[in-house]
Chain A
Amino acid sequence: MAGPDEQRIFVASQWQLMWWRFRRHKVAVASGGVVIGFYLAVLGADFLAYADPNASEAQRSLMPPQPVYWFDGWRFSPHVYAVKGARDPQTFKRVYRADPGQKISIRFFAGGFEYRFLGLIPMTRHLIGVDGGLDAGKTIFVLGTDVQGRDLWSRLMYSTRISLTIGLFGVTVSLVLGVVLGGLSGFYGGIADTLIQRVIEILRSIPTIPLWMGLAAALPRDWSILQIYFAITIIISLLGWTELARVVRGRFLAMREEDFVVSARLVGCSQMRTIFVHMVPSFMSHIIAATTLALPAMIISETALSFLGLGLRPPAMSWGVLLQQAQNVQTVAISPWLMIPAVPVIIVVMAFNFLGDGLRDAADPYGR
């Protein structure tokens, strides 16, 4: 006898079943939340940043992160201590000393530099800020500053834009290539299949990083940020489509002989209709999962290329560009906070991996 619960399962749609299955994978759900959070930061980068990411100031070069004190006595009043910079007469290094007598309060939704929210609405409000807004005397640096005295937190927020979207565009290009070539390979078989499979094998046995470096280095120096951005995207995705093609081909092969595909063919559906109306929807979920798993590799590639100085170059901002300053051990030993941009890279890569794993398990709700 089927209980009400089981009846619910009988009538549920495929996507409904997948959602139920995905929900059981708690880590994947949490990772999904993290990923959404990161993309919200992409949209609201200028709101989350509190300082102009390009405003440099030699007077506050390499300032360590300021600890935030949340309470003043018993009252909730987040503040930081004002910092005084001076040059050490012996070592000539800049040293910074906090002055507990001078507190700088942090205000929520404070005024700051002007920007357009979502590129449309002019605004001056930021998530946090200091009293007096743009008054130069009072500033906060929750994650410290870089060599040119630019605020690391604000730069990190703006960097999410390039770092996370380059992965999206790259994966889209890879997806198109992968679906078309993998589809041809799996649906038609024969010579096309052999040819495409051999190309994939060849591409997979070439070490990719030296190749990327070579191609990226050949980009003209006078290209704009946008041109470099798209060129890097294409370089990364041209070599990254093989795994997606493999998944698509595998699904096509598995499905070609299924009853519903054969019957679609027998009732006279055109080839296009068979593929796009009957076959693609049934392995859409697998493609989504494979795409999610392909994204972190793209993000890492961009970070690696920019870290080497062959990808995006300043004034563009991405996590890899920020990490360029952490290339040197001596610098890092003195200013370890320059390594902070590695943290979001690791978190986002891990989140995509867990999310992709969960999606892949959920992609086949009828199995087991």
Chain B
Amino acid sequence: MLVYIGRRAVLAIFTVWAISVLSFAIIQLPPGDYVTSYIAQMAAMGSVVTDEEAQNLRIQYGLGQPMYVQYLKWVRLIAQGNFGMSMEWRRPVTEVIGERLWLTVVVSVAALILTWVLALPIGIYSAVRQYSVGDYLATFVGFIGLAVPNFLLALVLLYLGFVLFNAHIGGLFSVEFQDAPWSAARVWDLLKHLPIPALILGLAGTAQQIRIMRANLLDELRKPYVVTARSKGLSEARVIVKYPVRVALNPFASTIGYTLPYIVSGSIIVSLVLGLPTVGPLLLKALIAQDMFLAGTIVLLLGVMTVIGTLVSDVLLVWIDPRIRLEET
């Protein structure tokens, strides 16, 4: 078990490294170096950067030195918790991102949980009552979920909410809680707003999981041990839940690792449509304004969060189901 977890951890470290290189590339891609554009920006705002300050910045970021030196300097600054300055907001990047990162995590995890809560019972139902009306309905909704890009789904729901109920279904907080400090009432308000974004984000994943669960369970239901269990006189519910469902859970569970990156990806674009206070809208604004430290940091943090989430879910799965670690070693 330790060997398996160790291997996953090593892979996670490599993934984080790959993400950091890509984030660094995003920061570096626009023409001109950071300090030059910083000075230009400050000049446009009416304040002057002295030569000495500029020189200090250049040394801090290792500008003018080879690329890998710049990369290492950047990594060292990040390790110290210094993510650089956001040019547009003229504040440290960490301050600008603030609680938005945590709200992104909350929305993504909510979508992930919803995926599971919905897909598991529906998948079992679809398999046990194959070709029933409910099964066809689940298949149909599943296809819609797979075929409609989630940001279009968000757009359509937003429009329907506006036209039918004259309500704005976007956002994560009511107006009075928008900038309020955290309190029980604010958390409750957040929970009330969560289901719609979570459903939109989770629908595609749910559709896929339903199909996987249904296919696996159908295979298992045909096996002789099910007949044995039934002939022993066990109740139908017990027969299904106790044996085939547990076997069919394995492939179902092992796809969870790929669901999280997908949901996090989707949350960026859905947040934009629904106006959620996550890092999504911030990232778009930063990219359009070429505020590259902010953009690069968001990409980096999102990637790292996803890797950690995937690692945690992997470890949990190994802990729950010993077959996974036996299979892969």
CB within 8 Å of B: which residues of A?
198, 201-211, 213-215, 217-218, 220, 296, 300, 303-304, 307-310, 323, 326-327, 329, 332-333, 336, 339, 342, 345-346, 349-350, 353
Contact = CB atoms under 8 A, between A and B. Distances in A.
Contact of A202 (B15, B30, B284): B15
Given A204-B258, A310-B284, 19 more contacts: A201-B11, A202-B15, A202-B18, A203-B18, A205-B258, A205-B261, A205-B306, A213-B284, A213-B287, A214-B23, A214-B29, A217-B288, A217-B295, A218-B29, A218-B30, A329-B159, A342-B156, A349-B147, A349-B149
Nearest to B290: A217
12 contacts: A205-B258, A206-B22, A207-B264, A209-B265, A213-B287, A296-B147, A304-B149, A308-B269, A310-B288, A323-B152, A342-B156, A353-B147
Nearest to B296: A214
Contact of B272 (A215, A308, A349, A350): A308
A321 to B, nearest CB: 14
Contacts of B287: 213-214, 217, 310
A10 to B, nearest CB: 29
Nearest to A351: B147
B212 interface: no
Contact of A350 (B143, B162, B299): B143
A214 B299 contact: yes
B149 A308 contact: no
Contact of B26 (A218, A326, A339, A345): A218
Given A215-B29, A327-B273, A206 B261 contact: yes
Contacts of A209: 265-266, 268-269
Contacts of A349: 147-149
A342 B155 contact: yes
A206 B288 contact: no
Contact of B283 (A213, A303, A323, A346): A213
B29 A303 contact: no
Nearest to A209: B265
B5 to A, nearest CB: 15
Contacts of B258: 204-205
Contacts of B155: 326, 332, 339, 342
A339 B15 contact: no
Nearest to A341: B152
Interface residues of B, number: 51
Residues of B contacting A: mostly: helix
A208 B148 contact: no
B151 A307 contact: yes
Contact of B268 (A203, A213, A323): A213
Interface in B268-325: 268-269, 272-273, 283-284, 287-288, 290, 295-296, 298-299, 302-303, 306-307, 310
Nearest to A214: B26
Contacts of A353: 143, 146-147
9 nearest interchain CB pairs? A218-B29, A217-B287, A214-B26, A209-B265, A350-B147, A207-B264, A207-B265, A300-B149, A202-B15
A206 B147 contact: no
A215 B26 contact: yes
Contacts, number: 124
B163 interface: yes
A346 B148 contact: yes
B29 A204 contact: no
A346 B152 contact: yes
Nearest to A204: B258
Nearest to A348: B147
Contacts of B11: 198, 201-202
Contacts of A327: 272-273
A300 B22 CA distance: 23
Q: Which of B149, B163, B269 has the most CB of A within 10 A?
A: B149
Nearest to A309: B288
Q: Which of B147, B266, B306 has the most CB of A within 10 A?
A: B147
Contact of B261 (A207, A307, A329, A350): A207
Interface in B125-164: 143, 146-149, 151-152, 155-156, 158-159, 162-163
B283 to A, nearest CB: 6
B62 interface: no
Contacts of A213: 268, 283-284, 287
A220 B31 CA distance: 9
B14 interface: yes
B112 interface: no
Given A217-B295, A218-B29, A308-B269, A206 B18 contact: yes
A211 B295 CA distance: 10
Contacts of B266: 209
Nearest to A347: B147
A206 B306 contact: yes
A92 to B, nearest CB: 21
Nearest to A218: B29
A113 B18 CA distance: 52
B158 A210 contact: no
A307 B23 CA distance: 23
B286 to A, nearest CB: 9
A346 B147 contact: yes
Contacts of A204: 258, 261
Nearest to B274: A329
B84 interface: no
Q: Which of B31, B151, B152, B170 has the most CB of A within 10 A?
A: B152
